[in-house]
Chain A
Amino acid sequence: MEQLAELVWLVPLFPLAGFLFLMVAGRRLGEPIAGWVATAAMGGSFAASVLVFLGLRSLPSEERFVSVKLFDWVPAGDLDVSFGFLADPLSVTMILFITGVATLIHLYSIGYMHGDENFSKFFIYLNMFAFSMLLLVLGDNLLLTFLGWEGVGACSYFLISFWFTDEANSSAGKKAFITNRVGDFGFMLATFLAFLTFGSINYDTMLSGTISSTTASAIALLLFVGAMGKSAQFPLYLWLPDAMAGPTPVSALIHAATMVTSGVYLLTRVNPIIAASAEWVPDVIAWVGLFTALFAATIAVAQNDIKKVLAYSTVSQLGFMFVAVGSGFYVAAIFHMITHAFFKALLFLGSGSVIHGMSNDQDMRNYGGLQKLMPITSMTMIVGWLAISGVPPFAGFWSKDEVLLAAWTNNRPMWFLLLIAAIMTAFYMTRLVIMTFFGDPRWSDAGTGAAGDAAPSATAPATVGPERHPHESPWQMTLPLVALAGLAAVAGFMNLPFTDDLKFLYHWLEPSLFGNEVHSEAGTATKWIIAFIAIAGGLTGLAAAGSVYFSSTRDRNSIERPIMADGWGYDRAVTAFMGGPGRHLFNAVTTFDDVVVDGIVNGVAKSARVVGLGLRGLQSGYVRSYALGIGTGAIALLVYFVTRATF
């Protein structure tokens, strides 16, 4: 049993094998076998993760750091990086939900990608993405994590611009990749600094080493810059809403369970460094998270594209996690990450099911009344909606309550602002659900002459709106929805706040946090009050959205401001800057590179050439001149030694 944890190398091996196999045989296998192979690979990976989990559980809690070194990777002087995996409670928690959710998304994709001409290619990318993510999480040093980090970035580029024939999709992929590169430079600098400080970039050395407050602050902030890129925090969140251009399973994979969680994971991984840094560093993390949570929530309220709502919602929820990380409540951050992985994957897949049924229309203004036509999709999405809105006993309530408690412990204004973000979360999610599943249909189905089975009301004739033929999705798509809905409903029970024994996740993660987890000093009564305020806030958001969007008389435009739909103009401002002054700046940098940097490099080459041209005259090809040279040289040497000789 104890040895099971050493099987950790199996976890990334399965998707790697699936990736390599599909590279060779994918096109020949075609649809749907290629999809099943990829799904089986992920399923195997999940099974391996469960084995590793069981193995790690059977160890005493202080020995739950199983390091499996496969080979020396970069032995270069003092830098000795091994290709090794680290199985500890944190990484195993991550791989469990990553592989679990990824398996469901793979299964879903078989249904969703039905009929796509690049069916097998999609699964090649999916498997490679999962492999990179597992490397990121399991790597026992910063460099291996960085390899996964970059692999995830590259795969997200492939997946977001999967339908690359459309210009918008391919530029969205580029945007994601380039924005992530901005964060990556922070990661790289942090790695260099860590090597300078500790003489090693292995986690076990880094996390147990001593470090000065200034260096720790620098490393923590640089890693946070990396995390801002991957986990879509302000100001680097820009890529995430655009990334909705990819197929919906990609959105679910990238923006729920993987990739965006990697920033939160990284900061949790290096919690001793954050603990050693100056006091204002965690505050920066928390306030950036808070601002992002609020900022993205306001934008989500005014979006009409169903996936854009979910995208901004993801950015906002990631902000919640960073508030928890910055407040030192790592368990709350991981807890919210897990529940978010479940309900956000569910919501994305549900929206994909709706989009699939509505002939790839993503505009919620053309939805309405789909509840009866898509019973499974709507029921599961309603579970996801209640979970994200913070309605007990669904998962999101428990984790969001922990995050709110974190903010409360950190400081009161932060808690208040975060509560507003939570209320807005409930508001825009309710808006999404009502606009999609309830109310009068804003589409028509010529096949039946009426708006599906939904009874057309007198106020809204059934024949308005574009023509659609909504239908429930195949079982490959609904099964993952049901599974995720189940998880989104009960995942909160993995960390119940009532008694110490019920905090399973907390006790499990404890060894990975090296005692850096902050504990709330609030009394039981205060905690109950905070929880009730959170519930009341969530219900207020629900009720407010219900009163606006069920009613046909309320003016929605007073809420959905154009500037909010526009993302406060931030995206446009960045584009304008990059296209205008920024371009001049980049041109200047390019000129500098061409003239100075290339000038030096080419100058060295050119001088070698000039010297060579001068010297080639000496090589006449005539033996006698060589002989003369040798003779002259010999005589010169002789003269030299004779005149120097002392007798």
Chain B
Amino acid sequence: MDVTSTWYLVLAALIFAIGAYGLLIRRNPLVMFMCVELMLNSVNLTFVTFGRELRDLGGEVSVFFVLVVAAAEVVIGLALVVAITRRRPDATIDDISVLKG
């Protein structure tokens, strides 16, 4: 069986859907972060797939940008999680909704 680009794309779509689903239903901040990572990395996978398919290095380069942004995002996000967990160890994401209108 030949593994074509379609397989990779279907896999990426599945991972993205899992990530999005998890982000919407889970309340644990840490798990939600992992879901976000899943979504980002599914996109990375798509980039690489198209990069190989189209023989364009731009796809691989974009992945590095996404990784950097994701790393930066995680730094802030984890700092927030640590800060919140210190004060309220059992806090879920719904408990920190004081910025609502």
Contacts and interface: CB of A to CB of B under 8 A. Distances in A.
- Are these two chains actual partners, yes or no? yes
Interface of A: 615-624, 627-628, 631
A619 to B, nearest CB: 3
B100 A620 contact: yes
A619 B99 contact: yes
Nearest to B25: A624
Nearest to B97: A621
Given A622-B94, A623-B93, A617 B24 contact: no
A620 B96 CA distance: 11
8 contacts: A616-B101, A620-B101, A621-B99, A622-B100, A627-B20, A627-B23, A627-B24, A631-B20
A619 B32 CA distance: 20
Interface string B67-101: 00000000000000000000000000110011111
Contacts of B101: 615-621
B100 A619 contact: yes
B98 to A, nearest CB: 7
B83 to A, nearest CB: 16
Nearest to B35: A627
B35 to A, nearest CB: 9
Nearest to A619: B101
A631 B25 CA distance: 14
A622 B23 contact: no
A628 B99 contact: no
A618 B101 CA distance: 7
Contacts of A619: 99-101
A249 B93 CA distance: 77
B65 to A, nearest CB: 19
A623 B26 CA distance: 10
B24 A624 contact: yes
Q: Which of A623, A628, A631 has the most CB of B within 10 A?
A: A623
Contacts of B99: 619, 621
Nearest to A615: B101
Q: Give chain A's interface secondary structure class.
A: helix
A612 to B, nearest CB: 8
B97 A622 contact: yes
A617 B101 CA distance: 6
A620 B24 contact: no
Q: Which of B32, B94, B99, B101 has the most CB of A within 10 A?
A: B101
A623 B88 CA distance: 18
Nearest to A620: B100
Interface in B22-64: 23-25, 32
Contacts of A615: 101
A639 B100 CA distance: 30
Contacts of B24: 624, 627-628, 631
B48 to A, nearest CB: 21
A617 B100 CA distance: 8
Nearest to B100: A621
B81 to A, nearest CB: 12
Contacts of B32: 623
A520 B24 CA distance: 97
B69 to A, nearest CB: 16
A427 to B, nearest CB: 81
A627 B19 CA distance: 12
Contacts of B98: 621
Contacts of B23: 624, 627
Nearest to B93: A623
Contacts of B20: 627, 631
Nearest to B29: A623
Nearest to B32: A623
B73 to A, nearest CB: 14
A433 B97 CA distance: 88
A620 B98 CA distance: 9
A622 B101 CA distance: 11
B43 to A, nearest CB: 12
B33 to A, nearest CB: 11
A622 B98 CA distance: 9
Contacts of A622: 93-94, 97, 100
Given A622-B93, A627-B20, A631-B24, 13 more contacts: A618-B101, A620-B100, A620-B101, A621-B100, A621-B101, A622-B94, A622-B97, A624-B23, A624-B25, A627-B23, A627-B24, A628-B24, A631-B20
A586 B39 CA distance: 69
Contacts of B97: 620-622
A627 B94 CA distance: 13
A615 B101 CA distance: 8
A589 B97 CA distance: 50
Nearest to B23: A627
A644 B100 CA distance: 36
A318 B60 CA distance: 90
Contacts of A620: 97, 100-101
Contacts of B25: 624
10 nearest CB pairs, A to B: A621-B100, A621-B97, A619-B101, A616-B101, A624-B24, A623-B93, A627-B23, A619-B100, A620-B100, A621-B99
Contacts of A618: 101
B12 to A, nearest CB: 15
Contacts of A627: 20, 23-24
